[in-house]
């Protein structure tokens, strides 16, 4: 009997999928909070009938995610879902809630979870620190975003590169970002356009409709059919330094 493969999605992919469903179908983001502090209800997990439950012989372990303490900078792995934990090094309280900003906002947020800034949202003289951020709205020149994992930039968002810090960057379809300095990143995913000098330690992935212009240095480059690459490319074996051009 052939075994069925179980698809495992990382936390950022789940949040991104739920965000799209909420935007298209006006669905609330399960387990998220609005900036007012209201926690949106989470959908209960599906319960298998007794006859199916007896046939379950294998379970999928929850995807582990990296959590950074914003107080001491210590990073550790966490599996499962919870709204609040304590740093295992400095014992500072770490919020893991997900937030949705859909209006002007000026209150600092620190969370190991995700923040979605809707097109109607605007960051005003505020600092956001989170595991993942989806930026679809605006931010003024006094605001900043720090992501320990993924930052996704939408078509309407025009952040100044100096205002954002992230480990991984995703440029959404229709979005255009121009950089005047070298972008040092782990993973880079393009569905939109990025112009600049990129140095990546992970994977640079250009999807259909995406376009990279400038220079790219890294160990892994993937260009899908329909993706554009107008750049000088330097690829080196993993673990070795890049070879600078003369």
Give CA–CA dist 28/67, Å, rounded. Answer: 25
φ and ψ of 12, to 5 deg: -65, -40
Residue 20, pLDDT score: 62
Parallel, antiparallel or unpaired: strands 93-95 and 84-86: antiparallel
Burial of 146 (0-12, 13-18, 19+ CB in 10 A): middle
Residue 49, pLDDT score: 39
Residue 53's SS3 state is helix
Beta-bridge mates of residue 152:
134, 170
Residue 34, pLDDT score: 53
Residue 4, pLDDT score: 41
User: By C-alpha distance, which of 200, 199, 34, 196 is closest to 211?
Assistant: 196
Residue 11, pLDDT score: 54
The pTM is what?
0.70
Give CA–CA dist 174/3, Å, rounded. Answer: 39
Residue 63, pLDDT score: 66
Residue 78, pLDDT score: 75
| 113 within 8 A of 99, measured Cβ to Cβ | yes
Give CA–CA dist 137/215, Å, rounded. Answer: 28
| 218 within 8 A of 201, measured Cβ to Cβ | yes
Residue 5, pLDDT score: 43
Give CA–CA dist 114/205, Å, rounded. Answer: 22
Q: Which stretches of the chain drop beneath a pLDDT of 70? A: 1-63, 80-83, 237-246
Segment 150-171, tens digit of pLDDT: 999 999 998 988 999 999 999 9
Segment 106-139, tens digit of pLDDT: 999 999 889 999 999 999 999 999 999 999 999 9
Give CA–CA dist 46/48, Å, rounded. Answer: 6
Give the single-character DSSP code of 192.
S
């Amino acid at each position: 009997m052939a075994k069925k493969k179980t698809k495992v999605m990382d936390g950022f992919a789940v949040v991104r999928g739920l965000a799209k469903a909420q935007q298209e179908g006006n669905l609330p983001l399960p387990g998220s909070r609005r900036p007012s502090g209201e926690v949106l209800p989470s959908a209960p997990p599906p319960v298998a009938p007794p006859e199916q439950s007896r046939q379950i012989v294998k379970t999928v372990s929850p995807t582990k995610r990296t959590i950074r303490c914003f107080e001491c900078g210590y990073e550790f792995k966490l599996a499962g879902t919870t709204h609040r934990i304590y740093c295992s090094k400095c014992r500072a309280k770490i919020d893991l809630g997900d937030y949705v900003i859909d209006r002007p906002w000026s209150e600092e947020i620190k969370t190991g979870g995700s923040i979605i800034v809707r097109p109607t949202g605007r960051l005003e003289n505020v600092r956001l620190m989170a595991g993942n951020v989806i930026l679809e709205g605006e931010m003024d020149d006094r605001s900043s975003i720090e992501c320990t994992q993924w930052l996704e930039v939408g078509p309407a968002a025009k952040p100044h590169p100096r205002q954002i810090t992230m480990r991984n960057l995703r440029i959404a379809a229709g979005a255009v970002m121009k950089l005047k300095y070298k972008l040092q990143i782990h993973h880079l995913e393009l569905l939109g356009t990025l112009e600049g000098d990129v140095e990546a330690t992970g994977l640079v992935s250009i999807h259909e409709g995406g376009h990279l212009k400038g220079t790219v240095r890294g160990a892994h480059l993937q260009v899908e059919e329909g993706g554009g690459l107008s750049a000088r490319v330097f690829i080196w074996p993993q673990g070795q330094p890049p070879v600078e051009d003369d």
